């Protein structure tokens, strides 16, 4: 008993020493604190499935590495990065200057951004909806509550039912900025927790409209999108997202506090490489453009 | 008394106390159990203290959001763009924290749930306790109680995918996800609570009441509705109070099935946002110590206080009724 206890004590002591050793001032300090081989990844709900597939595939080539993926929303992930409770933050929008500044002041290191995939934000409607395309200004009018009927955007005459995401979601932030131009969502917008719940709601609602990653298009229809009333409508696809013709495409990011080192760097490099990008395609997002 | 004691000749032998001196082991266990019981009380008090402390700036009026405006939960002054002033819009510039839509949402969903679950739960309790045969009772009772064990996220997902389509198909509601759908889903979780407590109350009615009623010539239905149910009324009311508390505090079902749009409307066919769903959705992203954070804790305090007051008032009413009925 006594020997066992002292052994335990030693082990704790040793790990404490390791911690203090591993955190000199500067960039690598932030990542040295976490257990060897175990990576925590937290953030965007849009990227949870993608992250989990990455973790599974990565475990196949690096059996010792344990990658732990959790969602919660991009803002939640960024908060965790600032608090030091995650190694990598998955983000479906770029970090704001304020968040970067907060990270720098709290942790003393800059935020390092890595693009990991390309996503086109699809506009979901029910497959029974006769509408096939919509312009960004019309979409903005719908979500701001200025238009309330499908007829006014070229559809059949019935009240529009708006579905959106909760405010901690990166998709919410991206849509609000890119489509609504910073305006508020109409109060009647129903917010759902997670893109799959949203896709499910639109699937069951003939007059519903929603938005989310292209990976969730099962049983629902994605509208073709026009930048304005005169331009031609473009369907979301790898090529239109890559060349920027599809107006609401975005990159998906990893953020780390300081330059990634050791295991974190290894994982990120793998994600950006052919193995990781293959997973991106499998899940339904688009791979990073090769340039 | 004293004369009695001195009169007896064999006094030197002490009378063995009925209260046996407990052994140290027993004493330890007793102390441990006492400590466990006190811990749970302490936990509740400390949680309440923590929640109230975080929310304090809102109630004292000293808190402010990032733009410096004070945190007013009932702010009704019209917006610059002329839109509806009573808004829950916490991430706008400037943010708006009017809690009226959320309070209405919570009450609406809870009332729907209790209105559906109460008749079902109480009627089932009467059936199982008074009318069912032994075999039926052994099937029905555990089955209803099993419903209480279904995880709320499962009920919520079922409501989101299946129930919502049915309800819209039948009633043609304006929104597919609405207070009626969430309330119906919630009723599934509340029903076993009402059933179990009501059934216990009916079972607790002394058997003599039943035999007396039958002996006086009443038939079975008269016995149930004129004698047994009135005698069990305090317990049945307690079941409603508990059911209400369960419903207003439930999060996952309403988060999934109510649509979460903070609308002010008397209709149960439109989307609603409840207090619990708001806290669950938004607390994960707020900056600790910010105005939004304080307001969410204030919502928690309001929720805590309302269930506490309700339980307390319910307890008083039930106690009074028991006294009147002589079943205390």
Residue of A42, A93, A174, A190 to mutate, testing the B interface (most B Cβ within 10 Å of its Cβ): A190
Q: How far apart are CA A87 and CA A97, in angstroms?
A: 20
Considering the domain architecture, whether residues A111 and A25 belong to the same structural domain is answered as yes
Q: Which of A76, A189, A193 sits opposite B285 (nearest CB)?
A: A76
- The C-alpha angle with vertex B281 and arms to B147 and A171, in degrees rounded to 5, equals 120
pLDDT in tens, chain A (291 residues): 444 444 444 444 444 444 433 333 333 333 434 445 688 898 887 788 888 889 888 888 888 888 888 887 888 888 888 888 888 999 988 888 888 888 888 888 888 999 999 888 899 999 988 888 898 989 999 998 888 888 888 878 888 999 998 877 778 878 888 888 878 888 889 988 888 888 888 988 888 999 988 878 888 998 998 888 888 888 888 888 888 788 888 888 999 988 888 888 889 999 888 888 988 887 778 888 876
Considering the domain architecture, whether residues A186 and A147 belong to the same structural domain is answered as yes
Residue of A83, A176, A187 to mutate, testing the B interface (most B Cβ within 10 Å of its Cβ): A187
Instruction: Tell me the CATH number at A44.
Output: 3.40.190.10
Residue among B303, B245, B318, B319 at smallest CA distance from B52: B303
Burial class (CB in 10 A: 0-12, 13-18, 19+), A291: exposed
Averaged pLDDT for residues B264-276: 90
Chain A residue with the nearest C-alpha to that of B96: A184
CB atoms within 10 A of CB A97: 8
Q: How far apart are CA A264 and CA B165, in angstroms?
A: 45
Name A39's bridge partners.
A67
| Residues of chain B neighbouring A162 (CB-CB closer than 8 A) | 261
Most confident of A119-123, B1-5, B152-156, B289-293: B152-156
Inter-chain residue contact A184 with B92, CB threshold 8 Å: yes
DSSP A258: S
Q: Residue for token digits 């106390």? A: B17
Both structure tokens of A158? 């019935």
| Residues of chain B neighbouring A190 (CB-CB closer than 8 A) | 175, 177, 259-261, 271
Averaged pLDDT for residues B37-64: 88
Considering the domain architecture, whether residues A123 and A224 belong to the same structural domain is answered as yes
Report the range of poorest mean pLDDT among A113-117, A233-237, B10-14, B191-195: B10-14
State whether residue A189 sits within 8 Å of chain B by CB. Answer: yes
Averaged pLDDT for residues B8-34: 75
Query: What is the structure's pLDDT at A23?
Result: 36
Residue A63 falls inside a structural domain? yes
Residue A289 falls inside a structural domain? no
Strand A38-43 relative to strand A220-222, pairing: unpaired
| Residues of chain A neighbouring B175 (CB-CB closer than 8 A) | 161, 190
Residue B5 pLDDT class (50, 70, 90 cuts): very low
ipTM: 0.73
Q: Which of B261, B284, B287 sits opposite A190 (nearest CB)?
A: B261
Q: Are B86 and B98 in contact (CB under 8 A)?
A: yes
State whether residue A190 sits within 8 Å of chain B by CB. Answer: yes
Domain of A24, in residue numbers: 2-118+252-283
Query: What is the structure's pLDDT at B39?
Result: 95
Residue B2 pLDDT class (50, 70, 90 cuts): very low
Give per-residue pLDDT as tens, B127-138: 999 999 899 999
Chain A residue with the nearest C-alpha to that of B272: A190
Kindly list the distances between the CA atom of residue B176 and the CA atoms of A194, B58, B328, in Å, as whole numbers in the listed order. Answer: 17, 35, 47
Report the range of poorest mean pLDDT among A51-65, B26-40, B118-132, B151-165: A51-65
Q: How far apart are CA B165 and CA B162, in angstroms?
A: 6
Query: What is the structure's pLDDT at A213?
Result: 81
Smallest Cα distance from B111 to chain A, Å? 21
Averaged pLDDT for residues B134-145: 92
Give the DSSP H or E segment for B142. helix B134-147
Smallest Cα distance from A246 to chain B, Å? 28
Residue A171 falls inside a structural domain? yes
Inter-chain residue contact A161 with B262, CB threshold 8 Å: no
| Residues of chain B neighbouring A103 (CB-CB closer than 8 A) | none
Chain B residue with the nearest C-alpha to that of A183: B92
| Residues of chain A neighbouring B284 (CB-CB closer than 8 A) | 72-73, 75-76, 168
Residue B152, CB-side half-sphere exposure with 13 Å CA sphere = 19
Query: What is the structure's pLDDT at B49?
Result: 92
Terminal CA-CA length for chain A = 61
Considering the domain architecture, whether residues A89 and A194 belong to the same structural domain is answered as no
Inter-chain residue contact B160 with A201, CB threshold 8 Å: yes
| Residues of chain A neighbouring B174 (CB-CB closer than 8 A) | 159
Most confident of A183-197, B75-89, B197-211: B197-211
Smallest Cα distance from B260 to chain A, Å? 5
Residue A107 falls inside a structural domain? yes
Provide the mean pLDDT of chain B. Answer: 86
Residue A57 falls inside a structural domain? yes
Residue A288 falls inside a structural domain? no
Give per-residue pLDDT as tens, B60-77: 877 776 666 667 777 766
State whether residue A129 sits within 8 Å of chain B by CB. Answer: no
Q: Are B57 and B294 in contact (CB under 8 A)?
A: yes
State whether residue A204 sits within 8 Å of chain B by CB. Answer: yes
Instruction: Give all domains of chain B, ordered by start, each with its CATH number.
Output: 96-325 (1.10.3720.10)
Considering the domain architecture, whether residues A133 and A215 belong to the same structural domain is answered as yes
Inter-chain residue contact A190 with B259, CB threshold 8 Å: yes
Considering the domain architecture, whether residues A19 and A91 belong to the same structural domain is answered as yes
Residue of A42, A79, A167 to mutate, testing the B interface (most B Cβ within 10 Å of its Cβ): A167
State whether residue A144 sits within 8 Å of chain B by CB. Answer: no
Q: Are A78 and A96 in contact (CB under 8 A)?
A: no
Inter-chain residue contact A192 with B260, CB threshold 8 Å: yes
State whether residue A79 sits within 8 Å of chain B by CB. Answer: yes
Considering the domain architecture, whether residues A128 and A245 belong to the same structural domain is answered as yes
> How many domains is chain A built from?
2
Considering the domain architecture, whether residues A243 and A276 belong to the same structural domain is answered as no
Inter-chain residue contact A76 with B164, CB threshold 8 Å: no
Inter-chain residue contact B87 with A187, CB threshold 8 Å: yes
Averaged pLDDT for residues B171-189: 91
**B81 or A83, which is more confident?**
A83
Considering the domain architecture, whether residues A191 and A264 belong to the same structural domain is answered as no
- Count of CB pairs separated by less than 8 Å, A with B: 72
Smallest Cα distance from A166 to chain B, Å? 7
State whether residue A157 sits within 8 Å of chain B by CB. Answer: no
Considering the domain architecture, whether residues A159 and A100 belong to the same structural domain is answered as no
Report the range of poorest mean pLDDT among A179-193, B146-160, B312-326: B312-326
Considering the domain architecture, whether residues A196 and A124 belong to the same structural domain is answered as yes
Residue A190 falls inside a structural domain? yes
**B20 or A85, which is more confident?**
A85
Residue B12 pLDDT class (50, 70, 90 cuts): low
Inter-chain residue contact B281 with A166, CB threshold 8 Å: yes
DSSP A111: E
Considering the domain architecture, whether residues A123 and A239 belong to the same structural domain is answered as yes
Q: Are B32 and B38 in contact (CB under 8 A)?
A: no
**B297 or A12, which is more confident?**
B297
Residue A290 falls inside a structural domain? no
Give the DSSP H or E segment for A67. strand A66-70
Alpha helices in B61-133 (DSSP H): 100-126
Residue of B271, B274, B279, B283 to mutate, testing the A interface (most A Cβ within 10 Å of its Cβ): B271
């Amino acid at each position: 008993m006594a020997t066992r206890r002292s052994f335990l004590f030693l082990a704790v002591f040793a790990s404490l020493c390791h911690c203090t050793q591993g955190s000199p001032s500067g960039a690598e300090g932030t990542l040295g604190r976490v257990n060897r081989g175990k990576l925590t990844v937290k953030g965007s709900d849009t990227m949870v499935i993608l992250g989990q597939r990455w973790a599974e595939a990565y475990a196949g080539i690096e059996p010792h590495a344990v990658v732990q993926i959790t969602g919660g929303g991009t803002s939640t992930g960024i908060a965790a990065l600032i608090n030091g409770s995650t190694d990598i933050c998955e983000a479906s929008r770029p970090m704001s200057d304020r968040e970067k500044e907060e990270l720098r002041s709290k942790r003393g290191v800059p935020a390092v951004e890595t693009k990991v995939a390309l996503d086109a934000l699809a506009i979901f409607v029910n497959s029974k909806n006769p509408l096939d395309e919509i312009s960004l200004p019309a979409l903005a009018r719908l979500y701001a509550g200025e238009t309330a009927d499908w007829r006014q955007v070229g559809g059949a005459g019935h009240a529009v039912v708006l579905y959106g995401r909760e405010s901690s979601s990166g998709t919410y932030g991206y849509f609000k900025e890119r489509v609504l131009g910073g305006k508020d969502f109409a109060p009647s917008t129903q917010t759902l927790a997670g893109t799959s719940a949203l896709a499910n709601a639109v699937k069951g609602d003939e007059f519903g409209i929603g938005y989310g990653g292209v990976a969730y298009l099962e049983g629902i229809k994605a509208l073709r999108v026009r930048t304005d009333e005169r331009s031609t409508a473009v369907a979301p696809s790898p090529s239109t997202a890559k060349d920027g013709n599809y107006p609401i495409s975005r990159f998906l990011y990893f953020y780390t506090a300081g330059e990634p080192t050791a295991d974190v760097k290894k994982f990120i490099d793998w994600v950006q490489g052919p193995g990781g990008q293959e997973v991106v395609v499998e899940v339904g997002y688009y791979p990073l453009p090769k340039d | 008394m004293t004369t009695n004691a001195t009169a007896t000749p064999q006094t030197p032998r002490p009378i063995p106390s009925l209260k046996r001196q407990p052994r140290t082991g027993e004493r330890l266990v007793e102390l441990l159990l006492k400590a466990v019981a006190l811990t749970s009380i302490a936990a509740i008090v400390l949680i309440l203290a923590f929640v109230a402390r975080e929310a304090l700036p809102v109630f004292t009026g000293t808190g402010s959001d990032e733009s410096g405006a004070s945190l007013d939960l009932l702010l009704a002054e019209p917006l610059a763009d002329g839109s509806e002033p009573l808004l829950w819009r916490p991430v706008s510039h400037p943010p708006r924290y009017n809690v009226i839509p959320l309070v209405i949402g919570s009450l609406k969903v809870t009332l729907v749930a209790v209105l559906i679950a109460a008749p079902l739960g109480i009627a089932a309790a009467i059936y199982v306790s008074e009318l069912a045969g032994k075999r039926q009772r052994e099937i029905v009772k555990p089955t209803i109680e099993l419903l209480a064990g279904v995880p709320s996220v499962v009920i919520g997902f079922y409501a989101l995918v299946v129930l919502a389509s049915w309800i819209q198909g039948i009633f043609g509601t304006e929104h597919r996800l609405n207070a009626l759908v969430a309330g119906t889903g919630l009723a599934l979780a509340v029903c076993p609570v009402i059933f179990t407590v009501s059934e216990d109350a009916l079972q607790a009615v002394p058997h003599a009441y039943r035999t007396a009623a039958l002996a006086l010539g009443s038939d079975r239905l008269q016995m149930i509705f004129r004698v047994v149910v009135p005698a069990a009324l305090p317990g049945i009311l307690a079941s409603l109070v508990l059911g209400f508390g369960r419903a207003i505090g439930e999060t996952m079902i309403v988060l999934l099935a109510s649509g979460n749009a903070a609308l002010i409307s008397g209709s149960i066919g439109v989307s609603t946002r409840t207090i619990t769903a708001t806290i669950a959705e938004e607390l994960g992203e707020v900056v600790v110590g910010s105005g939004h954070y304080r307001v969410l804790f204030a919502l928690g305090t309001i929720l805590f206080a309302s269930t506490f007051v309700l339980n307390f008032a319910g307890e008083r009413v039930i106690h009074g009724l028991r006294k009147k009925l002589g079943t205390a």
